[in-house]
Structure 1
Amino acid sequence: MNKRLLHLFGLAALASCSAAGESSTSARANRTPVAYNTVVECTLYDGMSKTSTQLTTITSGMEVQVMDTVDAYFVKARVTKGGKPLTGYMYRTCFPQR
């Protein structure tokens, strides 16, 4: 009887851990883009490499919506240029440190 009770508590503990993990990922999915102004002239790329195609050039002071921090060097960003929304990747150094 004690073994069954111990197994039951173990399963309950595992279930609570997985439920906590699911709630944190769902909160992340609901984040909205954050508006930043660039501090230097930067380029919006279609990928995260040196050989990626340049979509547009962002001038200093232009507002950019940062959608996600992808890695240590890039952020996923959205800008509106000429009435057309463009989504791509920018270097983190384009924005002020917070």
Structure 2
Amino acid sequence: MNKRILHVLVLGALTSCSAASESSSSSRANRAPVAYNTVVECTLYDGMNKESAQLTVVSSGMEVQVMDTVDAYFVKAKVTKDGKPLTGYMYRTCFPQR
């Protein structure tokens, strides 16, 4: 009898852990882009390495939609240039510290 109770408790704990991880990932996916203004002139790249092509140059004070904080150095961003939306990657140093 005690083994059954133990199994039920373990199963309940595992279920709650998996449910918590699913809810946190789904709430992250539902976040909307956040508007920031750049503090310096920066480049929007198509990737996150030295060989990445430059999509456009974003001037200081221009509004950028930050879609995701990719890693310690880059954010995924969307910029509108000449009425055309461009999505790429920018250095975090382009934006004010929060």
Fold match (TM-score > 0.5): yes
How far apart in 1 are the matches of 2:5 and 2:38?
A: 59
**What runs of 5+ residues in structure 1 fail to find an aligned partner?**
none
CA distance in 1, matches of 2:37, 2:5: 58
Q: Does 1:74 align with 2:74?
A: yes
Which amino acid in structure 2 is aligned with residue 85 of structure 1? Answer: P
Q: CA deviation at 1:39?
A: 0.4
Q: Deviations over 1:33-90 (max 9, x none)?
A: 0000000000000000111000000000000000000000000000000000000000
TM-score by length of structure 1 reads: 0.98
Give the structure 1 partner of residue 11 of structure 2: 11
Moved over 6 A (4+): none
Number of positions where the alignment pairs a residue of Structure 1 with one of Structure 2: 98
What percent identity do the matched residue pairs reach? 82
State the SS of the aligned residue for 1:51: coil
Corresponding residue of 1:38: 38
Where in structure 2 are the equivalents of 1:45-84 lying within 5 Å? 45-84=45-84
Aligned-residue RMSD, C-alpha = 0.5
Give the Cα–Cα distance (whole angstroms) in 2 for the partners of residues 37 and 43 of structure 1: 14
Structure 2: gaps of 5 or more residues:
none
Matched letter for residue 90 of structure 2: M
TM-score w.r.t. structure 2 length?
0.98
CA distance in structure 2 between the aligned counterparts of 1:20 and 1:90, rounded to whole angstroms = 31
1:4 CA drift (Å):
1.2
How far residue 8 of structure 1 moved from its aligned partner, in angstroms, is 1.0
